[in-house]
Structure 1
Amino acid sequence: MCGRRPRRMLVGMSGGTDQNKVHGLSGFEDTVKDFWTSRPQRPLRGRKVAGVAAAIGNRYGLDPVVVRVAFVAASVFGGIGLALYLLGWLLFPGEGDQVSPFEALLGRGRSATSKAFTIVLVIAFFPVVSWAFSGSWGWFEGGGIIGLALLVTALYLLHRSRGHENRPVAPAEETMTYPMSTPSPATSTTDPLGAAPLAWDLPEPAPAYTPPPPAPPAPKRPRSKVGIATFGVALLVAGAGAAAAAAGIGWFSAPHIIGLVLGVLGIGLVSGAFARGGRGLIALAVPLSIAGVVLTSVPVADYSGGFGNVDAAPRTAAEVLPRYEQTAGDLRLDLTALPADTPVTTEVRLGAGQSTILVPETADVQFECESSAGNVDCLGRHSDGLGRPAIIGQDLGTDGTGGLQLDLKVSQGAGNIEVRRG
C-alpha cells in the first residue's frame, strides 16, 4: 500500500507583513503600500450604508460613530466626505470577499457587489468629486481641500500608529499536497511490524495540564482632556468670529463662523481618536452641521447689519430710516405714531429671526413681503414654506382711502414676518 499524508490547509493573511515590519515602516511609501495590502474590510454587521465607517473603526480600534461624524462633517464642510465614502466603498473589500468591488470589476477576483452596481458607484464618484472641489457643494470656501487634507492625514497617522492591530484575514484557500509514494518496508515472518518489539519507540506520557494564571486586569486609562480643550478653543473661535462680525468685517458671516467652529471640532475629533477621548464633541458637531446646512439653504449672508435685536419706534417721517437691516436677531418696527401728512417709504431686511412691523389703523399701505424660509403674515395675507413667492398688495385700512401713505417692503432669509395694524 502507498502511504498518504492528510491534506493541509494553508491560510493566507491579507497583507502578510508581520507586526515587526509594520512597526518599522520607514517612510510614506512603505506606509501606503502596507495600508493597501491590509485595507479595512467592510463588515456584514454593524454597517449603516456600505460599512466604510465601521470598517475603518474596526481596523484601527475606533468608535465607528466618530468615523461617521467625520464623514458627515466633511460632507457638510466642503462635500469631500461623500466622495471619500464612495471611494472607500469601491476600494475596500467586503467581509468574505476576495477583492474590492472595483478590483472585481477589473476581473481580479470575486466580490459580493455586483458589477452593474459598481459601475453606478464609479459614475457617481466623478461628479461628486467635481462638485466638492469646484465649490458648488458645501458652504465653506476651500472646505473640500481642507476636509481632504484632514481625513487623509488622520488615516495616515492612524495606520502609522495602529497598522499592526486588527489586520484583516483573507478568505481561507485550500492547497493539497501529495507526497511521492514509497514502497512498504519488508515484513518479517516473525514480526508483522518489521521491527523487534524491544525497538518500539513509544511516546512518553503527557504531563498533567495546568491552566495558565489569569491575566491581570488592564490598568484604567486616564480620562483624555482632548474634549474639554477642543470645546474651549471652539468657544474662543466662535466668540472671536462673532466679535469680528459685529465690528463689520464682512467675511465673518454666520456660515463662516460655524465653519470655523466645525473645523476646530473636526481636529478635536481626530485627536480624540488617537487619545481615545472627545466623543462628547459629537453632540456639538451634529447640530452645528445641521445649522450650517440650513444657513446655506437660505441667503442669510446677503444681509448685513450685525447680530442682535432692533427695536425702533420713529415718531416723525424724518426719523424713519430708508432701510432697517440686520443679519440675525429680532427686528421690531413700530410706525403707529407717525402723522398722516407725510408719505413714508422704508424697507426691512433681516437674515434670520423675527420681523414685526406695526402700522397705523388708517394707513394706506402698499406692501411687499417675502421670506425664503419661514412664515409670512402680511396684513391678513399668508404664506409659509421654502422659496415661496413674495406677497404683494395694498391695504387701505379701516377707513378706506385716506390716512398715512406708507410704502413698505420686507424681505427675510429665514424666519417669520408679521405686518399688522397696531
Structure 2
Amino acid sequence: MLDGMKSTTDTTKHIEGFEDTVKDFWVSRPRRPHQGRKLAGVAAGVGNRYGIDPVVVRVVFVVLTGFGGIGLALYLLGWLVLAEEGDEVSGIEGLLGRGRSSMPKGLALALCVVLVPTWILSFSWSWFDGGTFLGLALAVAGMYLLHRSRGHLRRPVPTGPAMASPTGMTTTMSGTDAGVWGQPVSEAPPTWDPLGADPTGWRLAEETTPAPAPRPEPPAPPRRRSKVGFAATGVALAVGGVGAALAAEGVPWFTPAHVVGLVLAVLGTGMVVGSFLGGGRGLVWLAVPLSLTGLALGAVPIEDVGGGFGDLSATPATAEGVLPVYERTAGDVRLDLTRLTGAENVSTTVRNGAGNVAVLVPPDADVWYTCEAGVGNIECLGQQYTGVNPPEIEGKDFGPDGAGGPKITLTAQAGVGNVEVRRG
C-alpha cells in the first residue's frame, strides 16, 4: 500500500571538483538584499549567503582595496553580476536582455564603463610589486573555499519563472541558463491518498472548545550599545595625529602613505572586533575614503619623500651653499641657482611628494638634468610631457652661448605636481 510513497532526505547537492564548484557558485550566487545594505548590498549579500557577518566582508573589501585597488574593482563586479532580491537576473544580464532586473540599464551601462578602467588601473598601481595579483588570488581562493564548505547552505530562493523537472526538483530559468536555487522540493499528485480511502467518507470531530489565543512574545531586550566604534575612532585619530606630527618633523619612515596605512590598520582591527562584540559598523565610512587616499598615494611612482610639510625656497649664492638634497613631503619647492657664476661645479636633487618643483639655472650654465613626475606636467629646458606617469626626461643643455659657465648636475622629481626647470 505504501509502495508509491517517496521521501527526500538529502536535499543538498554534492559538489565535486573545481568545475562543479564554479558552476554551482554561478547558479546559486548571492543576492543583494534590500535590508542591511550600505551601498549596493554586495557585502551584505555575500555575508547572508554564507552565514558571515557582513562587516567582516566589508573589511575584506577595504583590505583588498589596498592591493592595487582590486577590492574596489571586485565590488563593482559584484554589483553587476549579483542579482537583487526579487529580480530574475543580474544587472549585466538584464542589460543583455536575458530577464527582468530592477537595475536601470543606464546604471548597468555606467558600471560597465567605470569597471573597465578600474580593472586596468588596479593592475597598473600597487603598494608593492605584484600586490594586485596577490589580492586577486586571495579573493578568488577565499571565495572558492568558502563555497566548497558552505555552498550547500542558505541557498537563495527561486525568484524567476520556475518549472518542475521529471524528478520533482524545482529549477529557475535565468535567461538562457537554468540552475538549482534553494533545496530540492518533492511534489506529489494532489489526488494521491496513502490510505486508499474515500476523502468524502472521512469524519472529523467537531471542535467544541475554542483554541486558546497565542501568548504574545515578550519584547526583545534592548541591545547594548557597543563602544568598539568610539574606541577605534579615538585610537585612529590619535595614531593619525601622532603620525602626521612625525611626518611634519621629517621623520624618515612616517610618510603620508604610511600614516594612512596605520590609521587603516586601527580601523580594520576595530571592525573585526566589532563584528564579534557588536558595533563598529560605522567605521567603514572612515575606512573607504582613507583606502582611496592610500591607493592614490601608493600609486605615485616615486620613493618616499621626507622633509616635512610646507613650502621651501632657497637661493644659494655659492657652490658651497648648494645642498645635496632639497625635499618636501608636501608643499612647493623653489630653487634659484642664478647667482652661481664662473666655472663652479654643483650637483643637487630637488624632490617633492605632493606639490610643484621649480628650478632656475643661470643663462650661461651647462646643465645635465633628469626630470620626472608621477602625475603632472614636466617642462625641462625645452622638453615637455604631461599626464599620469609621463616619461622621464634626461639630457644636457649648454645654453645659447655654448659650453662654458657653471656646471650643474640636476635631478628634479615630483610625485603629484608639476616639474619646471628653466633659465633665469
Question: Normalising by structure 1, what TM-score?
Answer: 0.56
How far the C-alpha of 1:12 sits from its partner, in A, is 7.6
Distance in structure 2 (CA, Å) of the matches to 1:55 and 1:277: 19
Is residue 2:31 matched to residue 1:43?
yes
Q: After superposition, what is the alpha-carbon deviation per residue over 1:44-72, rounded to whole angstroms, capped at 9, x for unaligned?
A: 6569999565131466585x5x4553232
Q: 216, 231, 234: which is aligned to 2:233?
A: 231
CA change 1:226–1:143 in 2 (3 A) is: farther
User: Who is 2:265 aligned against?
Assistant: 263
Mapped partners of 2:70, 2:360: distance in 1: 49
Which of residues 67, 72, 77 in structure 1 aligns to 2:61?
72
Task: Tell me which residue corresponds to 1:173.
Answer: 185
Pairwise CA distance, 1:306? 3.8
Alignment of 1:22-421 (within 5 A): 42-43=30-31, 53-57=44-48, 62=53, 64=54, 66-67=55-56, 69-77=58-66, 136-137=130-131, 170-174=182-186, 176=188, 202-205=205-208, 207=210, 218=220, 220-241=222-243, 252-300=254-302, 302-309=303-310, 310-326=312-328, 328-335=329-336, 338-359=339-360, 362-364=363-365, 366=367, 367-379=369-381, 381-391=383-393, 392=395, 394=397, 396=399, 406-420=408-422
Deviations 1:278-307 (A, max 9, x none): 33322321222223323333334x345443
Residue identity in the other structure for 1:42: P
Distance 1:350 1:284, change over 3 A: farther
Cα deviation for residue 216 of structure 1 reads 6.4
Displacement of 1:231 in angstroms is 1.9
**Which structure 2 residue ranges, 5 or more long, are not aligned?**
14-27, 86-125, 158-181
Matched residue type, 1:203: E
Higher relative contact order (CA 8 A, sep 6+): 1
The offset of 1:369, in angstroms, is 1.7
Q: Work out whether residues 303 and 325 of structure 1, in 8 Å CA contact, stay in contact via their aligned partners in 2.
A: no
- Partners of 2:183 and 2:228 lie apart in 1 by 39
Q: CA deviation at 1:206?
A: 5.5
**Percent of aligned pairs with the same amino acid:** 32
User: How far apart are the structure 2 equivalents of 1:418 and 1:174?
Assistant: 76
Determine if contact 1:379/1:421 at 8 Å carries over to the other structure: yes
Cα distance, 1:137 vs. partner? 1.1
Give 3-state SS (helix, strand or coil) of 2:417's partner.
strand
Counterpart of 1:35? none
Q: Once the 2 structures are TM-superposed, how far is the Cα of residue 254 of structure 1 from its aligned partner?
A: 4.2
Does the 8 A contact of 1:11 with 1:172 survive in 2?
no
**For the residues of structure 1 that align with 2:332 and 2:197, how far apart are their CA atoms?**
103
Across the aligned residues of Structure 1 and Structure 2, the Cα RMSD in angstroms comes to 5.4
Which structure's CA Rg is the greater one?
A: 1
Deviation at 1:320, TM superposition (A): 0.9
